[in-house]
Amino acid sequence: MTVYLLCFALFLVGIYGIITKRDLVRIIISWGIMGYAVNLMFVLFGYKNGSIYPIFVKNAPVLPQTMVDPLPQALVLTSIVIELGNTAMLAALAVRLFQKYQTFDITKIRRLSG
Amino acid sequence: MILPFFIIIPLLTAFVITLISGERDDWAVILSIIVEISLLILSVFCFFRVDGTAVIYKMSNWKAPIGIILVADSLSIFMLIIVSFIALTSLIFSVHYIRHLSPSWNYYALFMLLVTGMNGVIATGDLFNMFVFVEITLFAAYALVAYGNRAEEFEASFKYAIMGSISSAFVLLGIGITYAMTSTLTLANIAEVLKQKDPMVSLWIGGIFLAGFGLKAAIMPFHAWLPDAHSSAPAPISAMLSGVLIKALGVYVLIRLFFNVLGGIAIFNEVFVILGTISILVGGFLAMGQWDFKRLLAYSSISQVGYIFLGIGLGTWLGILGAVFHLLNHAIFKSLLFYNAGSLETAFGTRDLRKMGNVAKALPVTSFTSMVASLSISGVPPFNGFFSKLIIIIAAIQAGRPIYAFLAAIGSLITLAYYMKVQRFGFHGKNILQVEKNAVSFGMNSAMIILAVLCLVTSLLIVPGIREATLDTIVAVIMNKTGYVSQILGRQ
Amino acid sequence: MPVESWLIFLLSFMIVGSIIALEMKDLLSAVISVGVVGLGVSVAFLLVQAPDLAVVQFLFEIFSIIIMVRAFIKKDYHQEAPSKVNKILTGVTLITLIAVFLLSIPLFKLIPTFGEPLMTTSRYYLENGAAETGAANIVSAVILDYRAYDTLGETTVLFTAILGTLTIIRIKKRAKATEEEKS
Amino acid sequence: MKQTEGMTLIVKTVTRISVWLVLLYGIYIILHGHLSPGGGFAGGVIIALAFLNVMLAFGRDFIKNWLNIDMLHDIDSSSATMFIAVGILGIAFGGSFLANFIPHGTLFNLVSSGTIQVLNIVIGLKVGMGLFIVVWALVLFHLDQKE
């Protein structure tokens, strides 16, 4: 149970980063940290004590009962790729914003009224 | 059997557009319009074929808990019709409009991916799959919001991207915890397993999903990103965002999760009612003070979505009927208003109501259709807005909550006030403005006329004869909460 | 139980690493230290018997560092001291986040304890995954046969991200390349 | 070889050998996706890193004529279309979308798990080309910045 709490703490560190930090790069970084925390927690849900990776090997027959849960691993593989796509788009947006506003400070990027 | 084609066809078009994309984008335009028309016909055909029971399609030939299933009951096909219809009108509108910004095939490929994402979210019966298709829709929306290459658009798109990523992180956290508790991902199985768990689990999962998908539906506490994103996007895209995206990604998913999966817990219904009413009032007040036409429309979207949440939160038959009907109406007249803003922008190059003048003579179609849209959004009798708001208010009174009914009525008056302001300044103002010759093309005008006609036609849905065939089947799906689960598990 | 104690050590290392990453003055070192946290996640995947994920996380971590460094390297940008308003905001957020953390402890008790997952559906994958799909690596079998539709969504997400990045950075396919030649 | 672009001579000679090994390793990971850890995604990134390695070592102009960038775009979109084509073939032969209709062959040997292997190769191509295009776009973007 403590492992899940530590993952949730890492998630909260990410939220802390997004709320308090002012420049774009740190916001992208803290979103990355949130993504790591969620992915890790998802895989930790699937771990079974004393069991091995879910790959059958030719000459070492392994009982399926002694294998880890493969489903969270498949889903987290997808969410890691989603995380990379998101980082790429946020980085592209931040670069264009720097080109237009000459700063990364989100408080100075205030062209939108209201 | 037709269900997967709602995702395959637009996805294949997006890939083919990127393959054949040359210098000019006319190929992309023709292809996407043909595809959109075929999707619309397909969805209307499906709506009358499905007779109340859910149609199940097993992906890659595996049963429900093992593989992924696509589920289509009348609620999801109703949403598919709205998505394809508004997408069709947006495409017709953007043929000429996008030539002003920067004509290239990217726009049409991303538009097709946006439609794929929404169709995927609506059709799927699997929790993680819904998350993946929500991500596709959001990525396409970020790129399209930043399509105009101006500084405000990058700023709006960055803020939208950050809010979207935070909500996706919450949704993924929710999916993780749901999987840990129920160890299955199909919505029907989750619902069945959650019944045996202690209710604290459902509350916790519901809370996280409310935070995640509430952010996408821009309910009151999470509405901050919507005015920036919807006002600085190109007009057809903000029509898609306001009219359809916050409904398909926000309202539809919350209905599916909180009614069919979690079985309509009383506390969350109460939360919907309270948040909905706050959205109506605050959205209305904020819209009063706006002079930028598109920002005013964005704020009014928040308050109109508040009506939908009020209707759903009541949980009674009439409340849900009003909410579903208002969902359809709002998609129509809000898209129409954004098209009007777009045509004003191309004609006069400004969105500020104070600078606009006597548009009635210069752009007759735009001013007439915007009058129709303003009347129907503020609930003037012959138009559709009046009936849906009336049903919600009556439902609130019947459900024994006169305060919310009263606040909803006030909200409707506020809407009337700021739309009259739009009409007085925007369309019948004093200063004469010269307009470029045929700035507003035939395509833009025809899109506006189609939607204006629809504002009148949809008010016929209230007639008892037609209502049974259409709206009642949808409300029946939402009302018998566990019906969805038993149909899917029953007919594996 | 070595695995749990190793994980607790690794997770606390990651929390400290990410706090350092956020508080660091220079942008580039912030990006690098988040990269270290990402590699920590990859090691944690190895501990939890997920080799597939460790490889993918490791490689994608390298790629996100390359993209971030490539995007932010040339920006000589120094950060001013945080204003008074910002200090109050940080204080308030810290208190609320700690409160949320303490409130969520009873909720995390509801989850089955670490190490005993209730594997109702995935028991099916393990028992007849190799027979039905013919793949020895069950994770690949799940990704590409049982839930192939997820992976189709996945490739579309990557395709949209790449198309979106190109649209935002305004690289049109052929037009840009020819223009480059001329200029 | 003009010495102006890219890194020092040592790096260039080493990369000239190591790039082919890295590419070979990436293809190995993709082909053995259903037997050993890693698969389409991991192998694709390795291929993208191999191209990146060449770009860093030999400089931008070398990579432009060594690797036709527009061809990468076409491979990217055509491999995505192939993924859907395999899915539609699944409808035709295997009953429903993305069904595994190719016979599975015997366990543990190389060509064995029907569409899983085909899809692995398609994803490997897609991820490899796509990710390199993203980095190439950022490079091109910085090129404009300088002018």
**Would the CB atoms of D138 and A95 count as touching at under 8 Å?**
yes
Tokens (6 digits) for B477: 């799906």
Of D46, D14, D13, D17, which Cα lies nearest the Cα of D30? Answer: D46
Residue C130 within a domain: no
A61 in helix, strand or coil?
A: coil
Residue A12 within a domain: yes
Tokens (6 digits) for B131: 């998350």
Using 50, 70 and 90 to split pLDDT, how confident is the model at B492? low
Residue A68 within a domain: yes
Q: Please give the pLDDT value at position B381.
A: 81
Of D108, D40, D49, which Cα lies nearest the Cα of D79? Answer: D40
Q: Please give the pLDDT value at position C114.
A: 82
Burial class (CB in 10 A: 0-12, 13-18, 19+), B285: middle
Q: Please give the pLDDT value at position C161.
A: 94
Residue A82 within a domain: yes
Residue C165 within a domain: yes
Nearest by CB to C114, from A9, A47, A104: name it: A47
**Would the CB atoms of A82 and B232 count as touching at under 8 Å?**
no
Query: How many Å apart are CA B262 and CA B429, to the nearest integer?
Result: 52
3-state DSSP helix/strand/coil % of chain D, to nearest 5: 75, 0, 25
Among all chains, which residue has been given the structure tokens 């019948």? B428
Q: Are residues C143 and C68 in the same domain?
A: no
Ranges of each domain in chain D:
9-146
- What residues of A are in contact with residue C106 (Cβ under 8 Å)? none
Query: How many Å apart are CA D2 and CA B273, to the nearest integer?
Result: 71
Measured from the Cβ of residue B262, the count of other Cβ atoms closer than 10 Å reads 21
Tokens (6 digits) for B25: 């984008």
Q: Which of C42, C155, C176 to mutate to test the interface with D (most CBs of D within 10 A)?
A: C155
The answer, for C167 touching chain B at a CB cutoff of 8 Å, is yes
**Would the CB atoms of C133 and D127 count as touching at under 8 Å?**
no
Looking at residue D58, its amino acid is: F
Query: How many Å apart are CA D20 and CA D133, to the nearest integer?
Result: 20
Residue A17 within a domain: yes
Q: Give the pLDDT confidence of B83-128 residue by residue, as tens digits.
A: 999 999 998 888 888 877 776 788 899 999 999 999 999 999 899 9
Query: How many Å apart are CA B397 and CA B434, to the nearest integer?
Result: 50
Looking at residue C50, its amino acid is: A
Torsion angles phi and psi, residue B358, rounded to 5? -80, 90
- The β-bridge partners of B126 are B186
Helices (H) and strands (E) in chain D, counts: 5, 0
**Would the CB atoms of B158 and A86 count as touching at under 8 Å?**
no
Q: Which parts of chain C sit beneath pLDDT 70?
A: 1, 74-83, 171-183
Residue C113 within a domain: no
Structural domain boundaries enclosing C5 = 1-81
B69-72 vs B55-58, strand pairing mode: antiparallel
Residue C167 within a domain: yes
Q: Is the pLDDT of residue D122 over 80?
A: yes
ipTM of the modeled complex: 0.92
Of the two residues B252 and D38, the one the predictor is more confident about is B252
Tokens (6 digits) for C136: 């020895």
Residue C119 within a domain: no
Query: How many Å apart are CA B393 and CA B363, to the nearest integer?
Result: 36
Residue C71 within a domain: yes
Of D45, B152, B102, which Cα lies nearest the Cα of C167? Answer: B102
Tell me which of C66, C81, C96 is where a domain ends: C81
Any idea what the Cα angle at residue B216 is, between residues C23 and A40, rounded to 5°?
Answer: 50
Using 50, 70 and 90 to split pLDDT, how confident is the model at A51? confident
- What residues of B are in contact with residue D101 (Cβ under 8 Å)? none
Of B467, D137, B53, B104, which Cα lies nearest the Cα of C166? Answer: D137
Q: Give the pLDDT confidence of B268-298 residue by residue, as tens digits.
A: 888 899 999 999 999 888 888 888 888 888 9
Q: Please give the pLDDT value at position D18.
A: 92
Query: How many Å apart are CA B154 and CA B88, to the nearest integer?
Result: 26
For chain A, what is the domain count? 1
Q: Give the pLDDT confidence of B19-69 residue by residue, as tens digits.
A: 887 666 677 888 888 888 888 888 888 888 777 678 888 888 888 788 888
Torsion angles phi and psi, residue B315, rounded to 5? 80, -5
Tokens (6 digits) for D83: 């993924």
Ranges of each domain in chain B:
5-490
Structural domain boundaries enclosing A70 = 2-101
CATH number at residue A54: 1.10.287.3510
**Would the CB atoms of D145 and A53 count as touching at under 8 Å?**
no
B126 in helix, strand or coil?
A: strand
Q: What number is the average pLDDT over the span B175-201?
A: 88
Helices (H) and strands (E) in chain C, counts: 8, 0
